[in-house]
Amino acid sequence: MAVNAPELSPPLPVPGFKVGTASCGVKSPNLKGRRQDVTLIVADVPCHAAGVFTNNRFRAACVRHGEATLASHSESIRAIVANAGNANAGLGEMETVWGRELIETGAAAANVSADVVLSASTGVIGTPFPIERIRDGMHEASESLHDDNWEAAAHAIRTTDTFPKWSSAQVQIDGKTYTLTGIAKGSGMIHPNMATMLGFVATDAPVAAADLKTMLKRVANRSFNCISVDGDTSTNDTLYLLSSGIGLGYAPLADTTLFEQALTELCIELAQLIVRDGEGVSKFVTIEVTGAASENDARTVGRAIAVSPLVKTAFAGNDANWGRILSAVGNAGVAIDTNGITLSADDVLMFENGNLHPDYRDAMGMAVFANPEFTITLDLGMGSEAATIWTGDLTHEYITINAEYRT
Amino acid sequence: MAVNAPELSPPLPVPGFKVGTASCGVKSPNLKGRRQDVTLIVADVPCHAAGVFTNNRFRAACVRHGEATLASHSESIRAIVANAGNANAGLGEMETVWGRELIETGAAAANVSADVVLSASTGVIGTPFPIERIRDGMHEASESLHDDNWEAAAHAIRTTDTFPKWSSAQVQIDGKTYTLTGIAKGSGMIHPNMATMLGFVATDAPVAAADLKTMLKRVANRSFNCISVDGDTSTNDTLYLLSSGIGLGYAPLADTTLFEQALTELCIELAQLIVRDGEGVSKFVTIEVTGAASENDARTVGRAIAVSPLVKTAFAGNDANWGRILSAVGNAGVAIDTNGITLSADDVLMFENGNLHPDYRDAMGMAVFANPEFTITLDLGMGSEAATIWTGDLTHEYITINAEYRT
């Protein structure tokens, strides 16, 4: 039950990239041919690249490998190989072996060196990795490589996602038009710090790897790290950014401001799509925290609201229970003066400077909370920093998905 | 749907204490006479006393007042006045006024000075406090004061609790028998650090206030702070301990070890009752973390498992999903070596030294998780410290309770 899933315009091809997919039955042989589950993204030229990874101490083979590869080859990446249906995680020593085989399989299919291939796996943890089936699938995917195949890839990286997620943008810098196309998958376990989330962004804007690295961290902190579905984070979360521009012979951008802005907007759009498709989510709630002493404080308070089961069930129940919101704020671990708090839901002022507003009536808040989308605004009265968090509610369907199916 | 709620033996009277209750319709006038909702605990003599309170930055009037009273009168407490149905929280300036009136009402009913009265309120946040009805109720409660009335009090402090919770113990020290009787209420919002939980323990064991204070903190850390229902903590959580012994003329205990042991066991029993009655809980799960570098690390890891929605829904679904457990461990924010982890469910070894055990089969774990009670044992392989956490599962009924009713 996705919340207002938008009609997406077709994704744009990005100069220098081709994409292929296949269906090989990663999760189970009898799914072969029924849903795409392997993806190959191949660059015609060496790409400058960056990655942001999970903070979970259990880091799947693909995460460990991706980090190492970017440390040594961040200016010459040629391919991303991805699979859904099996995370290749929690498997001890075999995980590393299978992770390496996935890379080699992808390198052979892309006809590039294994040293410059990144990988990403998502799906069930702890089930042996079906490398033979994936090898067959990757070969098949290489036969479908095409520059206009991003939509298929957005389908193929899904697990429990109910719709494919992509976004494209074009940005004009110094008279030249560059393209950005990103795909993502999310659904359950989504939380600040990038829970079971995969995101791949390709661009032909010429930005050097050193700049991409710091930029991608900033962008993730304002997009994917600002969403929460259930507060859990996974072993495999990965965001990759590949830039073909320098390899295509374009001069590196002197000023990356416009590009970073376009990248941030694109990643926010992908992140919001993930929340809209969160497991069991029936509401899309924006939490704006203002008046904080630091951006970090603002984000911490926003996340505390977003992950509280009592707040999330109140969202689900159309219950404008501001007491639960304030209690979550009080639990955030951030120094606040409770007398300085002001709280609104859309344009309804509920709480002002630590007191319930005299004009506020329950029915006013209830009317806002009955909508499928609304904004909670919380001013801490401590400073001028702010952050925005996007989250959903906690519903019966979340329990059904996660108690009754193994993911 | 409480999990294996035990048949409790009747609570024991404690020398020096009388208890009264009444039904005054705190939450709504039409509940008057239908359920007990005010409680008065009166000591015949000045008591040495201690309290442990919520860590939430929003602290209700009763918490602020109780802390201040114990700072100045910890050797002369004469009464606790409590109400269910309204938390007197989130009400701005009126909260302090009403909190003071509650104390004065209780002092008048108990016929003691207001300076030596502690209070505790629990229930809905943000609704005006019905002090007039409570005043009438408190007067009525004073007429039922009796030393054998603890069971009634255990009923009267409940909110969404489905059964009353009490525990009594006797301990022999230096040839004399002392009694401890405690009552508690919990249900939703229960978490380490004492979420919407009230606990009152009375004893005639003669322990000085200075000793009680440090002891109660230690005991809370090994009992009430080791349980989790939904990870939320409240504005009103309070644990009070009153000792009449010194006031009754007994010589203070030279060695409090045996008393602390009895108090710890009693508080663990109350804490476990709270988990068994957690909102929507259908499983009672013990999480034992061993091999930690510090007790604090062990507790942090145990809590991370206990609050993960993905782990809790796996419990609900009888799904021995060890991948979710390990992912939660990895998210605990504690330095661990994932290659050192060993994990069991009851006597089934699932994961050993970072690898899935070769003899482990899904069906073995599923058989354990199908039980209403089981124990997860996690060895971190980092040291010799340990902690135990008790928690429940996350079910449809939790969503129903919290999305469809305002608490």
**Residue B391 identity (one-letter amino acid):** T
Are A257 and A351 found together in one domain?
Answer: no
Cβ neighbours of B124 in A, within 8 Å = 323
Average predicted confidence (pLDDT) for chain B: 91
Q: Is residue A203 part of a domain?
A: yes
Q: How far does the CA of residue B333 sit from the closest CA of chain A (Å)? A: 8
The two structure tokens encoding residue B365: 């774990």
- Say which residue the tokens 């002090």 belong to: B131
Mutate to test the interface with A, among B96, B121, B196, B313 (most CBs of A within 10 A): B313
- A-proximal residues of B, 373-402, CB under 8 Å: 394-396, 398-400, 402
Does residue B306 sit at the A interface (CB-CB below 8 Å)? no
Does residue A403 sit at the B interface (CB-CB below 8 Å)? yes
Are A271 and A385 found together in one domain?
Answer: no
**Total of domains in chain A:** 2
> Last residue of a domain, which of B276, B301, B325?
B276
Q: What CATH number corresponds to the domain at position B259?
A: 3.60.70.12
| Contact across the interface for B398 and A328, Cβ inside 8 Å | no
Residues of the domain holding A343: 284-391
Q: Is residue B404 part of a domain?
A: no
Are A140 and A28 found together in one domain?
Answer: yes
pLDDT at residue number B226:
87
Catalytic status, residue A162: no
Does residue A235 sit at the B interface (CB-CB below 8 Å)? yes
Q: What CATH number corresponds to the domain at position A303?
A: 3.10.20.340
Residue B308's φ and ψ, nearest 5 degrees, are -65, 120
Q: Say how far apart CA B304 and CA B298 lie, in whole Å.
A: 10
Q: Is residue A109 part of a domain?
A: yes
Are A290 and A264 found together in one domain?
Answer: no
| Contact across the interface for B327 and A93, Cβ inside 8 Å | no
> Do B129 and B12 meet the contact criterion of CB atoms below 8 Å apart?
no
In chain B, % of residues over pLDDT 70: 95
B16-47 per-position pLDDT tens digit: 999 999 999 999 999 899 999 999 999 999 99
Are A254 and A320 found together in one domain?
Answer: no
Q: How far does the CA of residue A276 sit from the closest CA of chain B (Å)? A: 19
A251-275 per-position pLDDT tens digit: 999 999 999 999 999 999 999 999 9
Does residue A317 sit at the B interface (CB-CB below 8 Å)? yes
From A231, A234, A323, residue closest to B90, measured CB to CB: A323
Q: How many CB atoms lie within 10 A of CB B58?
A: 23
Are B360 and B215 found together in one domain?
Answer: no
Are A149 and A235 found together in one domain?
Answer: yes
Q: Is residue A220 part of a domain?
A: yes
Q: Say how far apart CA B260 and CA B243 lie, in whole Å.
A: 13
Mutate to test the interface with A, among B399, B400, B406 (most CBs of A within 10 A): B399
Does residue B91 sit at the A interface (CB-CB below 8 Å)? yes
Q: Is residue A138 part of a domain?
A: yes
- Is the predicted pLDDT of residue B392 greater than 70, yes or no? yes
Are A269 and A352 found together in one domain?
Answer: no
Closest CA to B22 of B77, B62, B81: B81
Q: Is residue A119 part of a domain?
A: yes
pLDDT-derived band at A194 (thresholds 50, 70, 90) equals very low
**Average pLDDT value for residue range B240-244:** 98
Are A231 and A332 found together in one domain?
Answer: no
Cβ neighbours of B57 in A, within 8 Å = 329-332, 334-336, 338
> Which residue of chain A comes nearest to B356, CA vs CA?
A91
| Contact across the interface for A403 and B319, Cβ inside 8 Å | yes
Are B243 and B169 found together in one domain?
Answer: yes
Q: How many CB atoms lie within 10 A of CB A122?
A: 32
> Last residue of a domain, which of A260, A276, A292?
A276
The two structure tokens encoding residue A30: 């009898």
Does residue A124 sit at the B interface (CB-CB below 8 Å)? yes
Q: How far does the CA of residue A84 sit from the closest CA of chain B (Å)? A: 16
Are B267 and B288 found together in one domain?
Answer: no
B274-332 per-position pLDDT tens digit: 999 887 888 999 999 999 999 999 999 999 999 888 898 889 889 898 888 988 898 88
**Average pLDDT value for residue range A20-29:** 95
| Contact across the interface for A314 and B402, Cβ inside 8 Å | yes
Q: Say how far apart CA B5 and CA A406 lie, in whole Å.
A: 30
Average predicted confidence (pLDDT) for chain A: 91
Q: Is residue B401 part of a domain?
A: no
Are B89 and B207 found together in one domain?
Answer: yes
Q: How far does the CA of residue B406 sit from the closest CA of chain A (Å)? A: 7
pLDDT-derived band at B127 (thresholds 50, 70, 90) equals confident
pTM higher than 0.90, yes or no? no
pLDDT at residue number B406:
55
Q: Is residue B7 part of a domain?
A: no
> Last residue of a domain, which of A234, A251, A276?
A276
B60-72 per-position pLDDT tens digit: 899 999 999 999 9
> Do A218 and A50 meet the contact criterion of CB atoms below 8 Å apart?
no
Tell me, letter by letter, the H, E, C secondary structure of chain A.
Answer: CCCCCCCCCCCCCCCCEEEEEECCCCCCHHHCCCCCCEEEEEEEEEEEEEEEECCCCCCCHHHHHHHHHHHHHCCCEEEEEEEEEECCCCCCHHHHHHHHHHHHHHHHHHCCCHHHEEEEEEEECCCCCCHHHHHHHHHHHHHCCECCCHHHHHHHCCCCCCCCEEEEEEEEECCEEEEEEEEEECCCCCCCCCCCCEEEEEECCCCCHHHHHHHHHHHHHCCHHHEECCCCCCCCCEEEEEECCCCCCCCCCCCCHHHHHHHHHHHHHHHHHHHHCCCCCCCEEEEEEEEECCHHHHHHHHHHHHHCHHHHHHHHCCCCCHHHHHHHHHCCCCCCCHHHCEEEECCEEEEECCEECCCCCHHHHHHHHCCCEEEEEEECCCCCEEEEEEECCCCHHHHHHHHHCCC
Indicate the SS3 state at residue B306: helix
- Is the predicted pLDDT of residue A406 greater than 70, yes or no? no
Mutate to test the interface with A, among B127, B187, B194, B232 (most CBs of A within 10 A): B232
- Is the predicted pLDDT of residue B229 greater than 90, yes or no? no
